[in-house]
Structure 1
Amino acid sequence: MPTLTIDDLGITTQRHGRDIALVDGLTLTLETGRILALVGPSGSGKSLTASGAQGVLPAGVSRRTGRVLLDGVEQRPSLIRGRTIATIMQNPRSAFNPVKTMRAHALETLTAVGHRDAGSEDTIRDTMAEVGLDDPARVLGLHPFEMSGGMLQRMMIALALLTRAPFLFADEPTTDIDLVVQARLLDLIERVARERHLGVLLITHDMGVVARLADDVHVMSAGRIVERGSVRAIFDAPAHPVTQSLIAAHLALYVDEEAA
């Protein structure tokens, strides 16, 4: 079973001439066929972990320590992006070039990972249909501004699948999408992950999403993983105060709904 390990990841920034740790000594392992949820409050370092592993950190932020291993062999970040790891980002509109059509985005993706050939158009349409985009031939001619947020998120999932990467990073994939579309997208991510036997790192602060999709959970706080366990163990017996607060906040939503 292929594994992807982020080992001893350390990410820092500088403030007043001093190094500030944003992610500190983080280690986690993904297995194909399983969904690992990385959860924690905003600012805990979840998204930076995904970005740092792939070498795409924002300006002023740097990776000081850490390796990414594929089946125990260290990989260069530039070689795993799109080939070993595909990414679904939390704001689909920021992920697309506004002046390019969906066809251009798809062909560019295939070219970047070396999968473009004479049958590319058929492959693209089949993959778009797989993620639930109706009339792929029409959608391929659309620009981002002509599509809804849900359509763009489905297109982003299709682009991720076109790479044939065995691992998928999904960073808050249902942010700013209404609840009906959110439920459909979560079903879609789970289905394609199981059918394609992908290893998924699901980054979220929504414990409802965790309960619905994940097999295992790692909880982050202040740049460190403070608790690990199966979904059932985390929900039944959360040990760390941060985990307990996340579970309590999630359960309070249902109490409020029943009271209403």
Structure 2
Amino acid sequence: MTGTLTIENLHIAARHGDHDHVLVDGISLTIRRGRILALVGSSGCGKSMTCSGAQGVLPPGVRVTGGQVLYDGRPIAPEKLRGHVVAAILQNPRSAFNPVLTMANHAKETLRAVGKLDSGWRSRTLEAFATVGLEDGETVLGLHPFEMSGGMLQRTMIALALLSDAPFLFADEPTTDLDLIVQARILDLLEELARRRNLGVLMITHDMGVVARLADEVAVMENGRIIERATTRDIFDNPQRIATRELVEAHMSLYPEVA
């Protein structure tokens, strides 16, 4: 079981008056190192909530009501998971950075949060920048978020995630709001990092093009539940559930010559 992260029977609910409104209903997923698992579904189905709930970072009024996370078969608390076992990439890089802090400040803050801030922080950060294709890292260290493009910010977020040396990566809609060329470059980068660093990746997306390009396996979510899971090829070639077929057909309608 070495190299697995399992979200087991996760339940998440929001309190409304005197009753709970179920948002995530018994989700179970296993992410394996060196593999990319795509969690797909329409907007509002609970994908991002699942990611947040597993890490213990839910919004006010929303809570985990059942389930656990296992690392190599052993339960692990959210505070020991975040930044140590799982690094996260968010969907809107501009909202992820403090606008008044430089990238150097963000790097030190990230390393401090995972207990790895030391005198070598600068060289480690420059190495991470180089890994994600940020040239002239010294200049990047001095920049504020408003001085950077969306693509640069997303690469910086990935670099900061790598600083933790976490074996797993949660990527929540990592190419949202990026133009097509930058999207392609970010996806290439994520795939290269996953394979080269043997990362286990949970890719949260509604974009079946991203799924076709990157994922080894797919779990399809609808109304807070997993309704289908299979290899990427089987999802596209032989979808079993109506929601899955609709996702595939909507994607293929963009490429009638292929369909």
In the alignment, the residues of structure 1 paired with residue 22 and residue 123 of structure 2 have an alpha-carbon distance, to the nearest angstrom, of 47
- Structure 1, unaligned runs of 5 or more: none
Q: Which region of structure 1 is more displaced relative to structure 2, 53-62 or 168-177?
A: 53-62
What residue is the counterpart of 2:68 in the other structure?
67
Give the equivalent residue in structure 2 for 1:95. 96
Matched to 2:56, the amino acid is: G
1:47 equivalent in structure 2:
48
2:120 counterpart letter in structure 1: G
SS state of the match for residue 228, structure 2?
strand
Please, what TM-score do these two structures have when normalized by structure 2? 0.97
**Deviations 1:55-81, CA, capped at 9 Å, x for gaps:** 000111111001011011111101110
Q: How does 1:130-145 map to 2 (within 5 A)?
A: 130-145=131-146
Say which SS state the counterpart of residue 253 (structure 1) adopts: coil
Tell me which moved more, 14-23 or 158-167. 14-23
What is the SS of the residue equivalent to 1:183?
helix
For normalisation by structure 1, the TM-score amounts to 0.97
> Which secondary structure does the structure 1 equivalent of 2:255 belong to?
helix
In structure 2, the residue matched to 1:76 is 77
Q: Does 1:179 align with 2:180?
A: yes
Once the two structures are superposed, the pairs formed by residues 1-80 of structure 1 within 5 Å of their partners are: 1-80=2-81
Q: Paired residue for 1:163?
A: 164
**Aligned mates of 1:18, 1:127 — CA distance in 2:** 46
**Structure 2, unpaired ranges of 5+:** none
Structure 2 distance, partners of 1:116, 1:77, is: 21
Structure 1 counterpart of 2:150, which letter?
G
Give distance in 2, aligned partners of 1:103 and 1:95.
15
Comparing 172-181 with 118-127, which one deviates more in the overlay?
118-127
What amino acid does structure 2 have at the position aligned with 1:100? L
Q: In structure 2, what is the Cα distance between the partners aligned to 1:120 and 1:26? A: 38
- CA–CA distance in 1 between the matches of 2:113 and 2:172? 22
1:105 partnered with 2:102: no
Q: CA deviation at 1:16?
A: 4.5
Percent identical among aligned pairs is: 62
Q: What is the alpha-carbon distance in structure 2 between the residues aligned to residue 176 and residue 17 of structure 1?
A: 38
Paired with 2:59 and 2:136, the residues of 1 have a C-alpha distance of 37
Offset of 1:135 from its aligned partner?
A: 0.6
Q: Which moved more, 1:165-174 or 1:104-113?
A: 104-113
- Structure 2 match to 1:120: 121
Partner deviation per Cα, 1:172-213 (whole Å, 9 max, x = no partner): 000000000000000000001111000000000000000000
Partners of 1:41 and 1:109 in 2: CA distance:
32
Could you tell me how far apart the structure 2 residues matched to 1:32 and 1:61 are? 30
Q: What's 2:210 paired with? A: 209
